[in-house]
Chain A
Amino acid sequence: MSEEQIKSLEKQFEARIARDEKIEPKDWMPEKYRKTHIRQISQHAHSEIVGMLPEGNWITRAPSLRRKVALLAKVQDEAGHGLYLYSACETLGISREELYEQLHTGKAKYSSIFNYPTVTWADMGAIGWLVDGAAIINQVPLCSTSYGPYARAMIRVCKEESFHQRQGFEIMLKLANGSPEQKDMAQDALNRWWWPSLMMLGPTDAESVHTEQSMKWKLKRKSNDDLRQQFIDQTVPQAELLGLTIPDEDLKWNEEKGCYDFGEIDWDEFWQVVKGHGPCNKKRMQDRVGAWEGGAWVRDAAMAYADKQQDKKEKQAV
């Protein structure tokens, strides 16, 4: 194809997206569109399956049977969401194994928040309430993103996600209304998860490299800073309802702007964690790589068995 032809195709392509048409796997797409989508969708998928680990950490220790089944179902949903997203990504011509390889070698990123440890039961509440809360804000707009398989996966994810935040908030509510020890546990979890949750919505707009192109492709509908503001404005009243204090002395309502002002985010910490220096980066990767490599013999066995069965069938047919 000549450069001119490609230019013309690109123009038509952008026009389709501008008209809110969906792009489907076999449609022509610019190479950059494909690459950007592989990066974003896989990063999203990786976040789901790495995100299983900090919560999975508490399945065996959940304090009641009711909490245990809810947590199990939630962590299982995350596996499901990872699976939907990997499948969406595979329609772009990359295999799940290749995507894992990128995760395991550190080439692909995942949400940094999962590099923080879950040290008490209250962290299950804080993660559901804050981390899933922030995730939903990020994800809902993606239900109408331009790439069909991604949009469809996100619709399914968002539908299932709604119970996650409620189960988190319910845990917090019980703790906040419980014994002094329980209340302390809840406050401590909020103290530890608040700032990482704000960071989770991404670097400030000034620092964000992909935003403009992503907006055009509807991979992003609002800027990071806008999403962050939305998250804060929605979460502060919830904290008040719980009777917990958000660990930010500068947090106060700005009558003029009609939203909350908040303190400085420690971006140095954010970038350090992204670069691999968070408290649990190594442990998370060890667990993922361990599960994948440790399971290789199982996957191989299933394949070998399937081949043998196929052979048998063919022989019988002869």
Chain B
Amino acid sequence: MKENLYKYILGIADNSLILGQQLGALTGHGPSLETDIACTNISLDLFGQVRSYYQYAAKIKGEGATEDSIAFLRTERKYLNVLLVEQPDTDFAYTIGRQFLFDVYHFLFLNELQKSHDVTLSAIAKKSIKEVSYHQRFSSDWVKRLGDGTEESKLRMQNAISDLWTYTDELFHQTEADKAMVEEQIAVDVTTLKDKYYETVNAILTEATLEIPESKWFQKGGKKGIHTEYLGYILSDMQYMQRAYPNMEW
């Protein structure tokens, strides 16, 4: 099995899985029917991407692996998503902040992944980038609305950005598998996206009249499977059926 490629795909797909799962949990609880429908759409886009990635990963893994065995039957340490996407929905500002900080990265990332020498990954990227371009527009607009809205919303949006900031640097870390895949021109060299990322993020934050956090201390670990405490709960929920009723079809 192509171990590095497999891990590389999980690293991409797990981000969409956990973020999609978090957004999905909000369905029915949003600030208006319209925003509810919009957030569910984003969640559905992400799950669509997840399924394409995992189906590909399952093929690589063989041994009867399926999109579901990969999604539901790993233990905490085997999930390779970044810490950012597993952060909780403290309020709508956190939901939007998390989405925004991820979307800007996601767009830059997919833009490069389109050029991957792996045709499947390149095809998934080409399809997904249109979706993610919309996600970025949606979340950027909301960062501006909340940042430059009322006093209360500004405070909440600022808190969210300041709290989540510490998880942004990890987006540009590379695992050993990533590096190997970059060598083969399959993977995106994420270190090259960093400047553009902060440039875009900072421009939106400025437009939203928010302060750009100064903190230089960043959290990391997700890409190595060392997560924040939140992931365990997300997985308990997500995996409940597959764990309680093993080896069944649904």
Residues 219-250 of chain B, each 1 if its beta carbon lies under 8 Å from chain A, else 0: 00000000000000010011011100100111
Q: Given contacts A82-B33, A179-B248, are A297 and B28 in contact (CB under 8 A)?
A: no
Q: A72-B27, A287-B28 are in contact. Are A301 and B145 (CB under 8 A)?
A: yes
- Inside 8 A of B50's CB, which chain A residues have their CB? 65
Interface residues on chain B, number (Cβ under 8 Å): 48
Contact A65 B153 (CB under 8 A): no
Shortest distance between the CB of A293 and any CB in chain B (Å): 10
Shortest C-beta distance, B219 to chain A (Å), equals 24
Set of chain A residues within 8 Å of B36, measured between Cβ atoms = 76, 79
Q: Contact between A67 and B250 (Cβ–Cβ < 8 Å)?
A: yes
**Contact (Cβ within 8 A) A291 B30:** yes
**Which of B38-46, B105-113, B132-140, B186-194 lies on the face that meets chain A?**
B38-46
Q: Is the CB of A174 within 8 A of B249?
A: yes
Q: Does A295 contact B (CB under 8 A)?
A: yes
Nearest-CB residue, chain B, relative to A302: B145
Stretch of A49-57, A151-159, A244-252 with 4 or more beta carbons under 8 angstroms from chain B: A49-57
Tell whether A236 is near chain B: CB-to-CB under 8 Å: no
What residues on A are CB-neighbors of B71 within 8 Å?
Answer: 65
Q: How far is the CA of A61 from the CA of B67 in the complex (A)?
A: 16
Contact A181 B27 (CB under 8 A): no
| Chain A contact surface mostly | helix
- Whether, in the assembled complex, B146 has its beta carbon less than 8 Å from a beta carbon of chain A, the answer is yes
Within 8 A of B (CB), among A273-318: 287, 290-292, 294-306, 308
Interface centre among B40, B71, B237 (most CB of A within 10 A): B40
Q: Which of B1-46 contact A (CB under 8 A)?
A: 21, 24-25, 27-37, 40-41, 43-44
Tell yes or no: A121 within 8 A of B by CB. yes
- List B contacts of A182 (CB < 8 A): 245, 248
Instruction: Count A/B pairs, Cβ under 8 Å.
Output: 140
Query: Which chain B residues lie closer than 8 Å to A291 at the CB level?
Result: 28-31
A121 pairs with B29, CB closer than 8 A: no
B237 to chain A, nearest CB (A): 4
Query: Which of chain A's residues has its CB closest to B47's CB?
Result: A69
- A73 vs B41: C-alpha distance in the bound complex, in angstroms? 8
* In the bound complex, CA of A305 to CA of B238 (Å): 37
A contact residues around B250 at 8 Å (CB): 63-64, 67, 121, 171, 174-175
**Is A76 within 8 A of B150, CB to CB?**
no
> 0/1 per residue, B59-99, Cβ < 8 Å to A?
00000000110011000000000000000000110000000
B144 within 8 A of A: yes
Assuming the A-B contacts A76-B37, A82-B33, A174-B249, are A63 and B150 also in contact, with contact meaning beta carbons closer than 8 angstroms in the complex?
no
Question: Which chain B residue has the least Cβ–Cβ distance from A182?
Answer: B248
Question: Are B28 and A305 in touch, CB under 8 angstroms?
Answer: no
Q: Indicate if the CB atoms of A305 and B149 lie closer than 8 Å.
A: yes
Docked Cα-Cα span, A291 to B200, in Å, equals 32
Q: Which of A53, A62, A178, A306 has the most CB of B within 10 A?
A: A62
Query: B37 to A83, Cβ gap below 8 A?
Result: yes
B213 at the interface (CB under 8 A from A): no
- Nearest-neighbour CB distance to chain B for A188, whole angstroms, equals 14
Question: B37 touching A63 by the CB < 8 A rule?
Answer: no
A303–B92 alpha-carbon span in the complex (Å): 16
For A61-95 the 0/1 string (1 means CB < 8 A from B) is 11111111100110110011011001000000000
Q: A238 CB to closest chain B CB, in angstroms?
A: 20
Q: Residue of A at shortest CB range from B40?
A: A76
B37-A79 in contact (CB<8A): yes
Give which listed residue, B24, B27, B146, B248, contacts A178 with CB less than 8 A: B248
Q: By CB atoms of chain A within 10 A, which of B24, B43, B72, B148 has the most?
A: B24
Also in contact, A304 and B47, with CB within 8 A (given A182-B248, A295-B32): no
- When distances are taken between beta carbons in the complex, the residues of chain B under 8 Å from A2 are none
In the complex the two chains form, what is the Cα distance from A297 to B242 in whole Å? 38
Cross-interface CB contact of A60 among B33, B47, B148, B237, cutoff 8 Å: B237
Known A72-B44, A295-B35; further 17 A-B contacts with Cβ < 8 A: A52-B27, A60-B234, A63-B241, A64-B68, A65-B68, A66-B51, A76-B40, A76-B44, A121-B241, A178-B249, A287-B29, A291-B29, A297-B156, A298-B153, A304-B149, A305-B145, A305-B148
A sample of 11 cross-chain residue pairs with beta-carbon separation below 8 angstroms, ordered by A number, consists of: A60-B237, A63-B245, A73-B44, A86-B33, A181-B248, A287-B28, A291-B31, A292-B31, A300-B150, A301-B152, A304-B150
Residues of chain B at the chain A interface (Cβ within 8 Å): 21, 24-25, 27-37, 40-41, 43-44, 47-48, 50-51, 54, 67-68, 71-72, 91-92, 144-146, 148-150, 152-153, 156, 234, 237-238, 240-242, 245, 248-250
Chain A interface (Cβ < 8 Å from any Cβ of B): 49, 52-53, 56, 59-69, 72-73, 75-76, 79-80, 82-83, 86, 121, 171, 174-175, 178-179, 181-182, 287, 290-292, 294-306, 308
Top 8 closest A-B pairs, CB basis?
A295-B31, A301-B149, A301-B153, A63-B241, A298-B31, A52-B28, A56-B28, A63-B250
